[in-house]
Amino acid sequence: MYQLIKKILFRAQPEKIHHTVMRGMKIIYALPFGKNVLRAFCDVKTKGLERELFGLHFSNPVGLAAGFDKDAKYIDELACLGFGFVEIGTVTPLAQPGNDQPRLFRLPADQALINRMGFNNEGAAAAAKRLRHKKSNIIVGGNIGKNKNTPNEEAVSDYEKCFHALYDVADYFVVNVSSPNTPNLRALQEKEPLKQLLHHLQLLNAQKLKPKPILLKIAPDLTNEQLDDIIEIVQETKLAGIVATNTTISREGLATPAATIAEMGAGGLSGLPVREKATAVIKYIHQRSHGTIPIIAAGGIFTAADAQEKLDAGASLVQVYTGFIYEGPTIVKKICAGLRR
């Protein structure tokens, strides 16, 4: 059924239809028995799929990646779709509009998306306020970043503000220094600035009565030497783990015509074309760290086989985003059923 509906949805501008569909889902959820209908349609049998990681209990290993529910507006509705966890954000200290529209593009021939959203969000305080009123007990991760106008020299302060704002309402944190859509952000992945940032956040974390897991989200475009630095820093700062990976700036091997891609312009590529690259990064980190660094996998996960590939490479949990757009609201149900088999 979704494949028929998708043909209609894909005729609309991607960002506009996203908000329309999610508002519709919110209306259904609010109706009498609405949440029961959603749960029945997307029911996930979790027996045997539970995971204990970072001191948290995940009902199943399939989560929703950051970027879909940036402002924590749909947590309870998404919980009805069977997700084991939802990652909000990327959240910045101050609200910001992001880049000019259009900034989200579909590549159906490649089962991919290109986005240059630019951390559009309503700010950390607004997200925290919504999370305080969520009704479900689903695990929520807070993906945090810096405002566009904050120079890298002052970036630590932005991450600190987000950490404090979300501390009471997020179950874990993800430090995003790997988005290609905020100018100079990826420079923070370099060894010294990254070490300084993570040391500072862990110092703040240690001062809390109950420290929260902090993870690092990395790009799929890093060299092995850069990945070695990442592993060293994660171990030195005692981070809880790594999210691998973000979108890629590569455009290699796409079926979509080059002229069409050029018209879309800059942005991060996600979906099926990132699958192999993300898996290679996960496998490298897992092997080089001797399995000591927990990994949440993201990148090209559409099916149970894709998820199993990431788990076999060394991941403990997986996240979907582009796969969710292309496969529809029963993606978690299908992946979990396949993993159970």
Q: Which residue has the tokens 């494949």?
A: 3
Mean pLDDT in residue range 97-116: 98
The fraction of the chain above a pLDDT of 90, given in percent, is: 99
pLDDT higher than 90, residue 1? no
Under DSSP, is residue 224 helix (H, G, I), strand (E, B) or coil? helix
Query: Looking at the annotation, which residues are catalytic?
Result: 179
With bands split at pLDDT 50, 70 and 90, how would you rate the model's confidence at 60? very high
Report, as an integer, the average pLDDT of 203-218: 98
Instruction: Report the binding-site residues for substrate.
Output: 70, 115-119, 176, 181, 246-247
Per the CB < 8 A criterion, the answer to whether 114 and 59 are in contact is no
Q: Helix (H, G, I), strand (E, B), or coil: what is residue 168?
A: coil
Binding site members for FMN: 66-70, 90, 143, 176, 217, 245, 271, 300, 321-322
Tell me the C-alpha distance between 193 and 278, whole Å.
Answer: 24
Q: Strand ranges (DSSP E) for 259-307?
A: 268-271, 295-298
Q: Which pair of tokens denotes residue 244?
A: 């691998």
- What range defines the domain where residue 162 resides? 1-336
By the 8 A CB rule, do 333 and 323 touch? no
What is the pLDDT at residue 114?
Answer: 98
Instruction: Output phi, psi for 295, to 5 deg.
Output: -130, 130
- Residue 248's closest CA among 225, 226, 277? 277
Kindly report, residue by residue over 31-45, the tens digit of the pLDDT.
Answer: 999 999 999 999 898
Q: What pLDDT sits at residue 38?
A: 94
Asked if the model's pLDDT at residue 46 lies above 90, the reply is no
Is pLDDT of 54 > 90? yes
Phi, psi (rounded to 5 degrees) for 243? -105, 120
Domain count, the chain: 1
pLDDT at 31: 96
CATH number at residue 67: 3.20.20.70
Given a cut of 90, is residue 100 above it in pLDDT? yes
**Residue 17: per-residue pLDDT:** 98
CB atoms within 10 A of CB 20: 13
**Is residue 95 assigned to a domain?**
yes
* Residues 32-35: contacts with CB under 8 Å, at least 24 apart: 35/76, 35/80
341 is a domain residue: no
The whole-model pTM stands at 0.97
CA–CA separation, 22 and 25 (whole Å): 5
Lowest mean pLDDT among 180-184, 259-263, 290-294: 180-184
Q: What is the pLDDT of residues 264-304, one digit of tens each?
A: 999 999 999 999 999 999 999 999 999 999 999 999 999 99
The average pLDDT across 326-340 equals: 97
Cα gap 15→9, rounded to integer Å: 11
